[in-house]
Structure 1
């Protein structure tokens, strides 16, 4: 009896996967930690690997000076200095340019694996590569994607808020420092990932919300040539109305007033800002939550964002798609991406009391104030058309959520897909709609996929935290990981080492199919011309309406009160 037990013990001991051990990078040697995922399967995790030096305030990142000895890469490093979720204080550090690497291993050491680099969301104001910890497990933990999809996952920190995106709109304070941080991380991956078993010529960047807009800007920037082959944007693109600062100097002056740096001479003001404490500057960039409760729309409060700087973003994003002509592109939105924002702007949609015509028009006034009063009636007629003479409240309320989903996420994404397909030079384009019913309790029955609800499935939470989910959630998670990692491997989400439930057709200049992603996927999950009537309205009718006169804009702000 003893011999079989000894043999079993020896076999189990041998049934461990290979381990990378110490890896030589350009800055020095690093050692991570191995996590067992199954028989002959593990993931090597390297946390807190520096990809650049501590950044100087409002300057581009510079190379890390390196270190001696072996860097124990077993703990996440501080996030970049930012406001907390409740906007009451700051957290994080200026020493924050670190990334994390997740490398899947089998019996022998992995080599030449596809690489997927993730950029987090958070309105360009907050977030981190290891955000939203639950039971010690970060939302962006890459182990499940790495293991199930046989890809290397890299998650990246970048500067956010005032220190990442404040700008004067000219060379004095050009802005886009957070985008330059992302660029530095991608450059580091290009130079170093081979030592971890990755293929530097097969890198995919992906992100959600502001992280997706960041991916979009990386695609469109002339500085990105050769850094990645594919890109995925989830609920955000560079064309989104919240993704670009329209008037950076006015925001900089507002920040200057808050920190006591207001000067009539702009150069003196900028000098003062550069000498101001980073914590005070970060707090000055917080969202003024009280403004939401009375005036305008949530979108107006998302002020800090990238700018057209004549360098990283040399022109309007819509004019830069030729730079992405050889980048395979997969993009989509959640069916209720705008619901959270609509619920803040028009609270009655989530309550028992009626949503009135006045409230609906008030929301449209806030969204369309660039165009004036004609746009309110024009948009209202489009969205109220399906209601009939005696509209049910559920239809009205869902339409309000649809308005914000379309305006903030869906229409800009469809425009980006079309521009990519139009400019493609051999690269493929894919479109999706994620519409799994929300898991958030307390919402009305008509609410489907809320903003950011796709991330738990993509990062495999139904597997790593199985007690919190049902089998249908694991099905969906498996489908998403398969499509995303196949795309990273081959440029085709249907082709790769992972089996998928239905082939995903290519989106082209003249043919616009999209995949409907949920837990029940079959041939009927392929549809065409996503919300084309609404896309046509915003891109062709609304965009051609004349701009509002100044007095008219003020009138509309009154409507929103």
Structure 2
């Protein structure tokens, strides 16, 4: 009986300790904030602070300004609206101009966490609806911070000169990272161990943050998932053309650029946002402004030499885009022909003229044989878009990082888990953004929607990513991983194939080097 009573008392003490591991009110530079505690398991909680401002309400096409602060305690228990953007169907807008907020997820055990590594997430075009940020924080034992920043017309419109220099969204990200560095110690984080990571447009943003001279000493590591600064869609090459197109849409029909800018600044933000929907969204991006991005991204990798870098793509990142360009690839009975492939290549290589089409076609059809099966041709269409838009630029960025690295490490991966999206053909692997559900722990958060193999994959990714954030090495940092992931160097190019059955054979070399060499050498010299 006495032993039973002692066990009960011990359990009560432990439970009380578990409940006691809570930050409560936290002092930031702008004022006091109080979040809420989410129980993850018997002895694990995550403190969540939603909607913490890192800057004031931004002026239209102005750099972010410091927040004026507040009196009393701010209850940080509600997500704030995203920055003004078009909805998925692009028929209306959502969000607000008052949007420069971040969310902080702090894992806690029996005692308050201190000196934790911090992972700062910059979202991409594939918005992570219902993200399980608390699962990544808990299972990785890292602080996760998600950042709102201006996008679309209000984030990146530019005239290509001082009138509208552009890159406001990048300045927002920079302001958020700077705020986190100054304040995260109060939440139990290590300000000298920040990792920025992102997917798609967010991954390209991570890349640009690394390349900017303003980032020196600001963070320590970076992860790009399906996008880099060298991606053909990441940089806006003719910003004034796009700006004039948007000006026409909102009725600013001025031939004088100064008058056009004045008119745009007086235009309704919602109309401006709608004017920047998908037909120009893919080219409404970052610009070489001579300031945050002082010159061509390929010439700025000396600035990235200080950061540990992990980057990769999904094996069929280009599938969605290929399905738009050549719809027959997803139609079971639809026949995709050599003419479709030539037409796709004509669109992608138009800057090089007609000579590029037969050159690229011969590279991608060399394995077809005389009568290629339709599925082989369909997969080739996806491979072309994946290589051109994602794989080749990422391999270039990894190589440049390794070439310039001054002691920092470089890692390459290919995520190729079979798609979970219903209705696609059997040959389809990992589509754009399908990696996010695993990294953010959705198979653990909603277990009935997933199988055990999905939870295996999710734990592998969380372990590799959080180890990397902790130490700069995905293999060490407290979380067990299935196999060692070797570094990518100047002359040695291994990559890890990531799926639910990672083994020694998952470490491979020279990812699609035949195609990388074609685009970076042969095609470039045409």
CA–CA separation in structure 2 for the residues paired with 1:7 and 1:184: 49
Partner of 1:456: 437
Counterpart-to-counterpart distance in 1, 2:141 and 2:282? 37
Structure 1, residues 492-537: CA drift from partner, whole Å, max 9, x if none?
A: 0001110000000000000000000000011001000000000000
My pick for the range that moved more, 270-279 or 407-416, is 270-279
Partner of 1:475: 456
Equivalence map 1:401-480=2 (5 Å) = 401-480=382-461
Equivalence for 1:313: 293
Measured after TM superposition, the shift of residue 14 of structure 1 is 2.0
| CA distance, structure 2, for counterparts of residue 489 and residue 358 of structure 1 | 50
Aligned to 1:217: 208
Q: Offset of 1:390 from its aligned partner?
A: 1.2
Q: Tell whether 2:35 aligns with 1:44.
A: no
Q: Distance in 1 between matches of 2:420 and 2:10?
A: 43
Name the counterpart of 2:252.
261
Post-superposition, which runs of at least 4 consecutive aligned residues in structure 1 deviate over 6 A?
A: none
- Distance across 1 between alignment mates of 2:425 and 2:17: 49
Match of 1:276 in 2: 267
| Structure 2: distance between partners of 1:35 and 1:151 | 15
Counterpart CA distance in 1 for 2:396 and 2:338 is 29
| Aligned equivalent of 1:557 | none
What CA deviation, in whole Å up to 9, does each residue of 1:428-450 have, x standing for no partner?
Answer: 00000000000011111110101
Cα RMSD for the two superposed structures: 1.4
CA contact (8 A) 1:220 1:321 kept: yes
Please give the per-residue CA displacement for 1:326-367, whole angstroms capped at 9, x wherever unaligned.
100000000000001001100111112210111111111111
- Any gaps of 5 or more consecutive residues in structure 2? none
The 5 A counterparts of 1:322-337 are 322-337=302-317
SS in 1 for 2:350: coil
What's the counterpart of residue 16 of structure 2? 14
Asked if 1:182 corresponds to 2:170, the answer is no
Q: Retained in 1: the 8 A contact 2:152–2:281?
A: no
The 1-side partners of 2:94 and 2:330 are apart by 32
| Equivalence for 1:66 | 69
Counterpart of 1:519 (choices 475, 496, 500) is 500
Contact 1:512 1:529 in 2 (8 A): yes
Equivalents in 1 of 2:305, 2:361: separation in Å? 37
**Residue 343 (1) aligns with residue 317 (2):** no
* CA deviation after TM superposition for structure 1 residue 11, in Å: 4.5
- Tell me if the contact between 1:15 and 1:39 (Cα under 8 Å) persists in the aligned partners: no
Q: Provide Cα deviations, 1:283-342, integer angstroms capped at 9, x if missing partner.
A: 111124xxxxxxxxxxx7612100000000000000000001110000000000000100
SS in 1 for 2:422: coil
Match of 1:157 in 2: 148
Residue 145, structure 1, aligned to residue 136, structure 2:
yes
User: Once the two structures are superposed, what CA deviation does each residue of 1:47-85 show, in whole Å capped at 9, x if it has no partner?
Assistant: 000000000000000000000000000010011011111
Q: Flag the 1:327–1:43 CA change in 2: closer, same or farther, 3 A.
A: same
* Residue among 152, 156, 166 paired with 2:157: 166
SS at match of 2:355: helix
Contact 2:18 2:111 in 1 (8 A): no
* CA positional deviation for 1:427: 0.4
Deviation at 1:111, TM superposition (A): 0.6
TM-score (normalised: structure 1): 0.91
Counterparts of 2:14 and 2:398, CA distance in 1? 49
410-419 or 38-47, which deviates more: 38-47
| Residue number in structure 2 paired with 1:552 | none
Q: Show CA shifts across 1:251-274 (max 9, x none).
A: 100111111112111111111111
Select 1:110's aligned residue among 110, 113, 131.
Answer: 113
Partner of residue 297, structure 1: none
CA apart distance, 1:13: 3.5
Q: 1:408, CA displacement in angstroms?
A: 0.2
User: Does the 8 A contact of 1:348 with 1:354 survive in 2?
Assistant: yes
Partner deviation per Cα, 1:461-514 (whole Å, 9 max, x = no partner): 000111100000000000000000000000000011100000000000000000
1:37 positional shift: 1.0
How many residues are aligned here? 522
Contact (CA 8 Å) 2:32, 2:72: kept in 1 or not? yes
The match for 1:295 is none
Task: Report the TM-score when normalising by structure 2.
Answer: 0.97
User: How far apart are the structure 2 equivalents of 1:353 and 1:246?
Assistant: 36
Structure 1: unaligned runs, 5 residues or longer:
133-137, 289-299, 546-561
Q: Supply the distance in 2 between the matched residues of 1:186 and 1:108 (Cα, whole angstroms).
A: 27
1:189–1:266 Cα change, 3 Å: same
Distance 2:345 2:12 in 1: 69
Kindly indicate whether the alpha-carbon contact (under 8 Å) linking 2:456 and 2:500 is maintained by their aligned counterparts in 1: yes
Distance in 1, Cα, partners of 2:334 & 2:267: 48
CA–CA separation in structure 2 for the residues paired with 1:488 and 1:356: 45
Contact 2:51 2:76 in 1 (8 A): yes
